[in-house]
Amino acid sequence: MRRRLAALVVLLACVPFGASGCRSDRPSLPPVVIATGGEGGVYHALGDAFAATLHDRWKVRATVLTTAASIENLRLLAAHKADLAFTTVDSADLATRGAGPFAGNVRIAALSGLYDDYLHIVVRADGPIRSVADLRGRRVSTGAAGSGTEVLAGRVLAAAGVRVSGRDAIVRSRLSASASGEALRAGRIDAFFFNGGLPTPAVTDLARTVRVRLLPVGSLVAGLQRSFGEVYLARSIPATTYGMGREVPTVATPNVLVVRADMPAAEARELTALLFASRSRLAAVHAQARRLDRRAALVTYPLPLHPGAALYFRETKPWADAKGG
């Protein structure tokens, strides 16, 4: 954490005030394409609300793309088919290094940290599956192809010694959260992974008709951190979230709102400012937006803040708020 904050102080101190000349009641911004996630997910809900705010407040034409989420969003940014994208930091880390599903480095920067995603591994409460190890040989959805969920699911299964191919492997499918919920309800799969905010609508909807159990992942977090670093955090899903009766230790992944690194500073500054100005509207569509906080938003590790976003935070001085100044 000290390393993260030290990097932020250096970056913020180096941003000139002159870039703030773009400010106005209605700044001149080009059309914006926002890469979100699947319908019914937090990314999609927040992206829709932010697009509406861009249009209503500044008359900016904003298009929302329904996607498989993090990995696909980052590919769309790289291909100049999106301007703004929601992603988890573990997927963003792969993109910047040209690792995993990315053939080359994707040059991106963060406008803001958002909120944490919590890994859900959902099974029926009346079934025999009680641990990640119990998934061997079971029918499991590891998330939609091109999603951050798929990346994390693979890492968690490997940490638990569960194969995705070969002997004693899971019988794998790649379904969205809503499709996974329907498949579990119908008995077509035995479990599904989804990495999302609390509450995740697909799990909430499923829990209305089926008693669900979430598998604990807490014992695997330390190993994930040793292998992949601070992109993973130890967290618990509260007992009241889905009416389970007990909290479930799991792994969390911070979310960030990102743009290409070459976006003009003036545009990045205005988009960041509008994000925080529209907090109440975003919170009206999903409670996770209440977690938007200018101090917490500075922590976007391992991504750098975009210089335009850094300017916004320098002007609004969130660290001064923390000191009562």
Q: Per-residue pLDDT tens for 16-70? A: 433 333 444 667 789 999 999 988 788 999 999 999 999 999 999 999 999 999 9
| Rounded Cα gap, residues 266 and 268, in angstroms | 6
Give the pLDDT confidence score for residue 74 in this predicted structure: 97
Same domain for 137 and 246? yes
Tokens matching residue 222: 């330390």
Give the pLDDT confidence score for residue 25 in this predicted structure: 60
| Rounded Cα gap, residues 305 and 300, in angstroms | 7
Same domain for 122 and 214? yes
Quick: pLDDT tens for 92-103.
Answer: 999 999 999 999
Residue ending a domain, among 204, 223, 253, is 253
Tokens matching residue 198: 């609390």
Same domain for 9 and 110? yes
CA dihedral 59, 61, 67, 70 (to 10 degrees): -70
The predicted model gives 291-301 an average pLDDT of: 92
Same domain for 84 and 163? no
Same domain for 191 and 225? yes
Residue ending a domain, among 234, 253, 272, is 253
- For residue 153, what pLDDT band results from cuts at 50, 70 and 90? very high
Full domain range(s) for residue 95: 2-115+255-322
Query: Total domain count for the chain?
Result: 2
Q: Which residues, including other chains, have CB under 8 Å from residue 155's CB and lie 6 or more apart? A: 224, 227, 228
For 54-76, b/e burial (b = at least 16 CB within 10 A) is beeebebebebbebbbbbbbbbb
Same domain for 125 and 246? yes
Same domain for 238 and 134? yes
Task: Tell me the residue type at 76.
Answer: L
Task: Tell me the residue type at 244.
Answer: M
Give the pLDDT confidence score for residue 104 in this predicted structure: 94
Same domain for 110 and 216? no
Residue ending a domain, among 253, 274, 309, is 253
- Averaged pLDDT of the chain: 90
| Rounded Cα gap, residues 182 and 206, in angstroms | 8
Same domain for 281 and 310? yes
The predicted model gives 308-318 an average pLDDT of: 93
- Where is average pLDDT lowest: 12-21, 109-118, 200-209, 271-280? 12-21
pLDDT at 198 over 60: yes
pLDDT at 110 over 80: yes
| Rounded Cα gap, residues 70 and 146, in angstroms | 7
The predicted model gives 105-128 an average pLDDT of: 97
Same domain for 134 and 99? no
Say what the pTM is: 0.85
Same domain for 155 and 226? yes
Same domain for 47 and 137? no
Strand-pairing partners, residue 195, are 119
Backbone dihedral angles phi then psi of residue 259, each to the nearest 5 degrees: -140, 170
pLDDT at 319 over 70: no
Helix axes 148-159, 70-78, angle to 10 degrees: 130
CATH code where residue 21 lies: 3.40.190.10
